[in-house]
Structure 1
């Protein structure tokens, strides 16, 4: 490997601290010890690495790291090669400000630095440290999705390195099957080294805040649930919130945390008017305060995450509505889990409430993403302060995500499957991709017949 004439860095266990740093992920549970971590300096480095991996006997596993924010091990490999795209993070805004080119190793912070200076916006992640690549290939639910749909709905084209080393451009006109597949089908078809997104007019200022609603009993939770049902009747694409079941320190008492967010809110008045009913139930832990750009917004959670346990397991799914029975049952499960073990009391359940209409504007077969009916998404975050409680966290996240999917199916009559961006890799591909799976398998056979890109939810037929 060291003899390859690449311009980037090749790291191995003998590289010391540089190798250790390259293995680090957002979750300590995502780290595997690769034989090599390659950090390409140019796209032309990547075909050389793929050829080397394929030439070994047996071929070495290849994993691709963009941001490394996911709690799965998809961006890691035990004994294989990790192609770490972090040096390929250039972001270029078109002169007409109608599109933006983003290299595959960029974080959303890299993008927001450019859009903030230019006073424009793009559909991206709510947190700065999330990688553009993984977020987009899984669908990409973001704070602007209420107005502009998902990240994949705003993707104009991409550049992909295929398993045989060819570098191709894909769009609705060029390699259209590949373009269809990478919009919700994940990283199973090649390494996306550049994305070109549609750019939108400035959506700010953005008002955020934090409301803490103590929950002494189920009656308190019922009040919050009823309020959400009533509030959603007047909700527009400019207003959204995330709701957390959480035990904030130092008391660690069970609470519902509400993080309101509004777009186009110059002085905060829109937020105060829209979320006034919630103010009657909770106390503002953070005042409603306008932020000038998404770069600022994406760093809003930094302080809270700074001391969060790094043994993190996440799973998530989709749900049709904020059914009181669903919220209540999940609250009971979360309360029991976090009450009985101090190691896991930082575990939380997150529910996103963004107007889902634009997601449903795209037909289910127009992209690889399975679910295009109006829906919301939720995530279960299992956090442990000790190794001994890691398995308990993993079991908890799996149990609650499965419960939400099943309970929502019972209440709505719709089985929405799994949220790809929150999958761990052991999910059935039929549940992730639905009726799109046969076409994805055909495209997989065309672009990656040797299954070089196998990390994640595999679309390769088991037979």
Structure 2
């Protein structure tokens, strides 16, 4: 490792006393359950550092495991390694807006907050995460559903090109015309084909001002609120979205259903005042116990909206989720009852929650299911189960709750809609069947894997086995 360190422009951190707090800090992830003790953490500062690390890892017998860390927001251990090497991209976080402001170049270690710092100043927008601390890389490689997706589709739909470090150390550009198979695979196929060290995204005209806020109801009004949501959905436009959450807010920890409304183009608050009126007055059936919607100037502000709640949330976090076809009352009621019972069972898991995204799928369905690796292109939404634990002893129960609830959603949705939408790669934990994620696109992904990673160097995440012809 000393010889490698001498060749690198970036840093090498180890668990010895020389690295100290820097190593401990670099191990941290959004969830404490995602942390594993890496033998080495390499923080490249130039793309050319990465081939040297790959060569070093593969020179061992057996090869050292390589994990890649972008933002570290995923609740799995995909960005960590027990005894292997973590390539930590955090130093590669430069964001550059093109001179004509029609595209933006983002390095693979950037967070969406880094991107919004640039777009906010320039008064342009890009399809990205609603949360600033989410890494651009993992978010995009899994598809990328964000606040602008109603109008502009997924982050993957807006990717123009990328720069990728391959398993053999080669650094290539990929787009629809350069290495097109690779470009097809990284848009929804996850991090199984190389390390994306740079993305180029299409930008869009300023979409603000943005409405952001919360509308909260007691759990006793669950059925009435669900009816309002279903009615509202019939008039929703691509410029409005809702995040529906099941939570037990302090200090009483009673079950509640909270809506997090968002709207684009909310000039003077006029749009949000009109489109969210049914939730504010309850359509005559129920009124919220708390309601606040404000207009903010940019996505940077929107992305920091949940900072206070995350600051106090238990850090033992497990997440799973999936797609669903519609807000079927039978589906949401089944999950509500399961969640209420689970969070009532122990104070240690009372912070666990469920999130449902209600973004218009109008733009998503305009892309063919075979145009890129992400195959779910019929009308759909996504949801996430967050199992949070305050003690180590309650972690297994929280993990089981997330797994069984996500499975319930998938199975119940298939029963009610007649369509099995499978799993959402960004909400997977790695033990899922790849056929249930990629469906008919899996054979092509396996062939591309054989072309770009025949020795399966990229083995973390939802593993895709190479298929040699």
Do the structures match in fold with TM over 0.5? yes
Contact 1:64 1:82 survives alignment (8 Å): yes
Deviation (angstroms), 1:462: 9.5
Aligned length: 460
CA distance in 2, matches of 1:374, 1:300: 28
Residue 116 of structure 1, aligned match among 94, 98, 120: 120
The reply to whether residue 24 of structure 1 matches residue 25 of structure 2 is no
The reply to whether residue 438 of structure 1 matches residue 431 of structure 2 is no
Deviation (angstroms), 1:240: 0.6
Greater Cα shift, 341-350 or 9-18:
9-18
Residue 400 of structure 2, aligned match among 395, 399, 412: 395
Secondary structure, counterpart of 2:29 in structure 1: coil
Q: Which residue of 1 aligns with 2:236?
A: 235
CA distance in 1, matches of 2:453, 2:307: 39
Q: Which residue of 2 aligns with 1:127?
A: 131
Secondary structure, counterpart of 1:417 in structure 2: coil
Deviation (angstroms), 1:138: 0.4
Deviation (angstroms), 1:322: 0.3
The reply to whether residue 50 of structure 1 matches residue 51 of structure 2 is no
Contact 1:211 1:282 survives alignment (8 Å): no
CA distance in 2, matches of 1:59, 1:461: 18
Secondary structure, counterpart of 1:268 in structure 2: helix
CA distance in 2, matches of 1:282, 1:455: 47
Q: Which residue of 1 aligns with 2:379?
A: 374
The reply to whether residue 146 of structure 1 matches residue 150 of structure 2 is yes
RMSD of aligned Cα (Å)? 1.0
Q: Which residue of 1 aligns with 2:456?
A: 451
Secondary structure, counterpart of 1:13 in structure 2: coil
Deviation (angstroms), 1:2: 2.5
TM-score by length of structure 2 reads 0.97
Q: Which residue of 1 aligns with 2:15?
A: 13
* Cα distance, 1:278–1:286 mapped onto 2, change above 3 Å: closer
Alignment of 1:284-323 (within 5 A): 285=290, 287-323=292-328
Deviation (angstroms), 1:461: 5.1
Gaps of 5+ in 2: none
CA distance in 1, matches of 2:235, 2:357: 17
Deviation (angstroms), 1:282: 4.0
Contact 1:214 1:282 survives alignment (8 Å): no
**1:218-252, Cα deviation, whole Å (9 max, x unpaired):** xx222112111111111001111100010011110
CA distance in 1, matches of 2:271, 2:236: 12
Q: Which residue of 2 aligns with 1:254?
A: 255
Secondary structure, counterpart of 2:196 in structure 1: strand
Secondary structure, counterpart of 2:448 in structure 1: helix
Q: Which residue of 2 aligns with 1:423?
A: 428
Gaps of 5+ in 1: none
The reply to whether residue 40 of structure 1 matches residue 44 of structure 2 is yes
Greater Cα shift, 246-255 or 274-283:
274-283
CA distance in 2, matches of 1:197, 1:325: 39
**1:308-367, Cα deviation, whole Å (9 max, x unpaired):** 000000000000000000011000000000001000000000000000111111000000
**1:188-223, Cα deviation, whole Å (9 max, x unpaired):** 00000000000000000001111110022xxx2221
CA distance in 2, matches of 1:364, 1:395: 31
Deviation (angstroms), 1:180: 0.2
Alignment of 1:18-417 (within 5 A): 18-216=22-220, 220-279=221-280, 280=282, 281-283=286-288, 285=290, 287-417=292-422
Contact 1:209 1:284 survives alignment (8 Å): no
CA distance in 2, matches of 1:420, 1:2: 37
* Cα distance, 1:462–1:197 mapped onto 2, change above 3 Å: closer
Deviation (angstroms), 1:54: 0.4
